[in-house]
Amino acid sequence: MKIAVLCSGNGSNLQAIIDAVKKGYIPAEIALVVSDNKDAFALSRAKSAKIETLVLNPKDFKGREDFDKEIVRHLRKKGVGLVVLAGFMRLMSPYFIKEYKDRVMNIHPALLPSFKGTCGIKDALEYGVKVTGPTVHFVDDKLDHGAIILQKAVEVKDDDTEETLLERVHKEEHRIFPEAIKLFVEGRLKIEGRRVRIG
């Protein structure tokens, strides 16, 4: 199966996926890395791994749907079967979600449905929860809402700062994201309403 990874920033999750593909843990090929940010470090990671990259500037498009249409055109050309959002800081349009229904995954740094949005670590810390952790979920038309594939609990320590908590959450992200992708590629994920069963 061919995978596309969409990133906007550092790309540490992309790196974990690249490593997992290299090791043969994920039996698939990363056919394309797409970014909406030409300066994303994720692009350097992709280039080092000799993976094709595509940079699209949202400002060059009339709107979200036009931008997504261009991405979908490239994904189709490559025969991509799974789209992975790894720190992609844009909401996908209904068009994109329809085109890739049940074939788009995202990683979120909090235990959904808690702390949706872009500050999952900070919000969890400020709220004072004792346990947080990453969620891998399918993407639907609502923010951080689709059916949950995997989650991992991470204890919040009394002396945690955003940085220390982020570090431990990331460590788990780098485990469960490749695992969820592997399960998808192996055809072991079955969506039943909001529940995802692992076969």
Could you list the residues that contact ligand GRF (CB under 6 A)? 7, 9-13, 86-87, 107-109, 134, 173
Looking at residue 61, its amino acid is F
At closest approach, how far in Å is the CB of 79 from ligand GRF?
25
Least distance in angstroms from the C-beta of 11 to ligand GRF: 5
- The answer to whether 51 touches 86, Cβ cutoff 8 Å, is no
CB of 135 to ligand GRF, least distance (A): 8
Nearer to ligand GRF, 69 or 151 (CB): 151
Residues 6+ away with beta carbon under 8 Å from 185? 1, 3, 26, 27, 28, 82
Closer residue to ligand GRF in complex, CB, 8/93? 8
Q: Shortest Cβ distance from residue 10 to ligand GRF (Å)?
A: 4
Looking at 53-141, which runs of residues are DSSP E strands?
53-55, 82-85, 104-108, 131-132, 135-138
CA angle 172, 37, 47 (to 5 degrees): 70
Q: Cα–Cα distance between 65 and 22 in angstroms, integer?
A: 33
Q: Indicate the burial class of 60 (C-beta count within 10 angstroms; 0-12, 13-18, 19 or more).
A: exposed
In whole angstroms, give the CA distance from residue 5 to residue 80. 10
The smaller minimum CB distance to ligand GRF, of residues 109 and 146, is found at 109
- Residues labelled as active-site residues: 108
Cβ nearer to ligand GRF, comparing 38 with 79: 38
Give the residue at shortest CB distance from ligand GRF.
87
